[in-house]
Structure 1
């Protein structure tokens, strides 16, 4: 897992709760440290442990926490990759081009980076189907990111995000439609 994601998880926990919650979460997760470098890649198990323990602490399913965290990530991700974005894009355009812009760049920056593969099919002007493929099984995070992208483009009230398969599989299909 890219250190940037873990660093943003730390900030998410600290802003939604507080610093002591983060410290306790790191301890309960069995990690030596809660400090991560955005230039490093860490074992996926770090994120699994942190999100799993956080979900237990706040009393919600891990998938729901993945979605909330996914939404939270979007403004930072958009800022980090802004030079790869077309200013005329809106939500569906962004989703359609993520694999060949941002994910391409993530893989290029570090050989160990492994974002999910997104096979996005534009059905028409108002619909896309996203086929998410990842052994990490974090489809909930992807669903949250889609919702966050819609909020980023101020279209959250007009975008329906509907997973059509279980969000915890290696292959997750997400239907996104603009009303």
Structure 2
């Protein structure tokens, strides 16, 4: 996994808790250092160990931690990839174009970079489905990123996100719908 993700995880833990919590988490995960280089790629097992130990330490399920972290990542991701983003894009547009813009760039920068594959089908201007495919089994992170995008684009009150399959599977179906303005978010899609 890309070092930038670990750097942002460190900042997330320090922001939500404090630096000593990060140090304890790194030690509990059995890692020799909590310092990561944004140009390096690290074993996925480091992330599993950190999130697993964080779940034990906080009592918050790992999937929920992944979602919260995914939401937290969005402003930094938007900043990092701002040159690839069209100014008229909103939440669903970002999701629709992530695979062929941001993920394509990440893969081209380093042969070991392997973001999940996102198969996106846009059913209408206000509805799409994402099929997340990754052996990492971090679909909850993707769900969090979708929710974070909705917040970033000031659409959180209009975007409904529904994972249709287990968020810790290799294939996760996520349905996303933008409701008309003023329509209350009641029930499912």
TM tier relative to shorter chain: over 0.9
Task: Tell me the alpha carbon deviations over residues 39-70 of structure 1, each in whole angstroms, 9 at most, x when there is no partner.
Answer: 00000000000011011111110000000000
1:57 matched to 2:57: yes
Corresponding residue number in structure 2 for 1:133: 133
- Cα distance in 1, alignment partners of residues 47 and 4 from structure 2: 11
Once the 2 structures are TM-superposed, how far is the Cα of residue 72 of structure 1 from its aligned partner?
0.2
1:69 maps to 69
Structure 1 residues 92-119: Cα deviation after superposition (integer angstroms, max 9, x where no partner): 0010000000000000100000000000
Quick one: distance in 2 between partners of 1:144 and 1:125? Answer: 21
What's the TM-score, normalizing by structure 1?
Answer: 0.99
Partners in 1 of 2:58 and 2:87 — Cα distance? 38
Where do residues 59-98 of structure 1 align in structure 2 (5 Å cutoff)?
Answer: 59-98=59-98
Does 1:106 pair with 2:109? no
Displacement of 1:170 in angstroms is 0.2
* 1:62-84 per-position Cα deviation (integer Å, ceiling 9, x unaligned): 00000000000000000000000
Q: Taking structure 2 as the reference length, what is the TM-score of the superposition?
A: 0.94
State the distance in 2 between where 1:7 and 1:47 align.
11
Structure 1 position 125, deviation (Å) = 1.1
Q: Distance in 2 between matches of 1:47 and 1:165?
A: 22
Which residue in the other structure is 1:35 paired with? 35
Query: 4+ residue runs of structure 1 moved beyond 4 angstroms?
Result: none
- Structure 2 stretches of 5 or more lacking a match? 180-189
Q: Secondary structure at the match of 1:123?
A: strand
Q: How many residues align?
A: 179
